Structure 1
Amino acid sequence: VCGKPWWSDVGRHWPWEVSLRVKHEHVCGGALIDPGWVMTAAHCIQGTKEYSVMLGTSKLQPVDFTGVLLIPVRDIILHPKYWGRTFIMGDVALLQLHIPATLSEYVQPICLPEPNFHLRVGTQCWVTGWGQIKQRFSANSTLTPELQEAEVFIMDNKRCDRIYHKKSLFPRIIPLVLEDMICATNYGENLCYGDSGGPLACEVEGKWILAGVLSWEKACAKAQNPGVYIRVTKYSKWIKKQLDRALSGPRASTWLLLLSRLLQ
């Protein structure tokens, strides 16, 4: 059963929202996709640091820990196509939690889309996160104490690619926005929300699905830039395979993690 956002006196709760942390400091966003697993961006993972996740709260530094979960990460699986920040391909990481999250109204997984699911251009979706709030004319970015949300709309990849080509030296023939990416825009609002690794969530036929994972953090530098996310449908089969494999026995992914660090 997948979660859905719900309202309370303090605002809207996004029960799959994760704060990925190192030494209690927020480093990236993420989404709970199963009681024992979180999905984030591969570029969020650096070296063999001790990661943990915080779930069940919209506050970055909660004072009241009712419903809040803090769980260490047991294992990290990076997508084999990920070759580091220079070539943002396969920018997907799965985090296996030390113990499965106890589900409650504050903690619920988001559904993964089927591999053949097609997200139409113009679909309304939501981006959530604590980070990278930038004013249009300012380079400063700060973390906000309270989870932010922004309504965005799915944009055509070709149009998105044209926008980024205007700002780059790459020839038009080399696509910047690849097939495994998805773009979303809020049509030039002054604020740009979202965390690297954070979710792009869309309600489709009454079900909330994880359509994307924020990949291009620098896209936030100008508010009129579309956000570029990893297109989850392109990785649904791989994700399912990893989760099934984990159920059938432990795996050693640490060497893959170390190898990817050496190749960066």
Structure 2
Amino acid sequence: MTSAEPLVYYPAYCFHLSPTINKWCPLRAIDIQGLECRPGFEADNVFFSLNHPIRWVRIVGVVVAIDEYHGRRIYTVDDSTGECIECSLDVPKPAHGARQNIGNGNAAVARPAEDAPHSDIDVGMVIDVKGSTKLFRDQKQINIQKLQRVRSTNQEVQFWNKIRDFRRDVLGQPWALERREVRRCKKQYLADVDADERKRKKKKENGYTLDSNVLGRQISTKSRNSGASSKPAKEEPLTKTEDKYSYTEGQYDALGL
């Protein structure tokens, strides 16, 4: 593929063949902020560099700010690339009355509890963050999965080398698949969807059958107990079983394709 040719964005059922989708992608903050959002992938927090799908990222930088919120902590990380990135960490919610609100009532001035995760991380420290990408108020953000302190310049240099190699060997050229690979992935995807559909129908049919049997026994019992009474037994509506096994169309394609 030459640079003049348009990029090919492959369907989600091809993503398992991607060299980036299930990898901690070493990136710079400016790279993460520049990732492209494409329609249909917002719910899965998948972004694109060229046509490479990216969900998991890794970044190393200096903590320049820490903001405490109810149930989460935000580390603002600066890696000297001209952009900062916010990294969000879920933390235990403080006890009632243990914090005071400021400004619009979101941020808290109380210090985090000593046993809260990563409470030892402070402004000025260099950290290594791994997490999933997400969009928050139109800005890229990292949802932290792993966090550790970087204690030497040598570790930073090693990470810079990983970024360089990753950009050169992976992100430097578009992701390309043979047509036969795409056809094979589509065939497997359709087979999986068909199998799920058959399973759904089977569950739904079994639900109706079960309700019919239960209803028949209820009517029979009621008839014996009431003798010649012609009043019908109160029927259990079948809609309960139908709702239990109802599925919205397109549920089996989690990425909306």
Q: TM exceeds 0.5?
A: no
Q: Which has the larger radius of gyration?
A: 2
The structure richer in helix per residue is 2
The structure richer in strand per residue is 1
Higher relative contact order (CA 8 A, sep 6+): 1
